[in-house]
Copies of this chain bind each other. A is one copy, B any other.
Amino acid sequence: MKTIDRSEISEFEKVYRLNLINSLSGYKSANLIGTQGTSGENLAIFSSVIHLGSNPPLIGFIMRPNTVARHTLDNIRSSGVYTINHIPKSIIEKAHYTSAKFDEDESEFEACGLKAEYKDDFIAPFVKESPIKLAMQIKEEVPIELNGTILMIGEIQSVHLEEKILLADGQLDLNEAEIVSISGLNRYHLPKEIDDFPYARKEELPNFKT
């Protein structure tokens, strides 16, 4: 095994360090966040969407205020709402390029060939091509002073999904929807289920001691 210590990490060239540290948290979720601002629609890819709790239904994501995602932050602050759209295999290249630096009045939907979709009276745009879409209301911005990022916490207002991926127990068949995951900065993966296990009880522990 190779060991890399803290001082080596500090001394790495910037892009190498970005690549390494971004890989070290494992596979990440892949989502497009849609917002509405005074200059129009915005869409940006995020790999930091995370489950925070089910009751109330809370989802978080990490915002880096000094990046191109700034428009997303401004729009959430002004409108209070956003959409989270899962990324299927069929649109990964289009989704990836939403991370390019577009002007404020340019729509990433149009530039990247994705269709904006509106539902009911929710003002933030959904991604039509996405099989799982969430309407979100911002509940809290939690500043992370250690590095100037923000944990954005939102509550799920509604869920829109393809009926065939909703399983009888409430879980989703993400494989069936061909949802992807991301590793590092730019690597896209298609996960395939290998197994599931029941709720873990000590009394029902398999015999692991050999």
Q: Are A194 and B89 in contact (CB under 8 A)?
A: yes
The CA of A55 and the CA of B13, in the complex, are separated in Å by 11
CA distance A142 to B181 in the complex (A): 26
B189 pairs with A175, CB closer than 8 A: yes
Inside 8 A of A51's CB, which chain B residues have their CB? 21-22, 24-25, 28, 47-48, 62
* Interface residue A149 (Cβ < 8 Å from any Cβ of B): yes
In the assembled complex, the CB of A194 is this many whole angstroms from the nearest CB of chain B, namely 5
Which residues does chain B contribute within 8 Å of A179, judged by CB atoms? 26-27
**Chain B contacts for A142, CB-based, 8 A:** 142, 144, 151
Smallest distance from the beta carbon of A69 to chain B beta carbons, Å? 12
**Distance in Å from the Cβ of A175 to the closest Cβ of chain B?**
7
A192's partner among B4, B153, B190 (CB-CB below 8 A) is B190
Residue A210 lies at the interface, judged by CB distance under 8 Å to chain B: yes
Beta-carbon contact of A50 and B27 below 8 Å: no
| A186/B196 contact (C-beta < 8 A), A1-B162, A51-B25, A156-B21 known | yes
Q: Cβ of A3: which chain B residues have Cβ within 8 Å of it?
A: 119, 158-160
B97 touches A170 (CB 8 A): no
Ranked 5 nearest A-B pairs via Cβ: A113-B208, A26-B29, A19-B170, A189-B191, A21-B54
Q: List 26 A-B contacts (CB under 8 A).
A: A1-B160, A1-B161, A1-B163, A3-B160, A4-B158, A17-B57, A19-B169, A21-B53, A22-B51, A23-B172, A25-B59, A26-B30, A27-B29, A27-B179, A27-B181, A28-B51, A52-B62, A92-B194, A102-B202, A139-B146, A146-B153, A172-B183, A174-B183, A185-B199, A188-B194, A189-B192
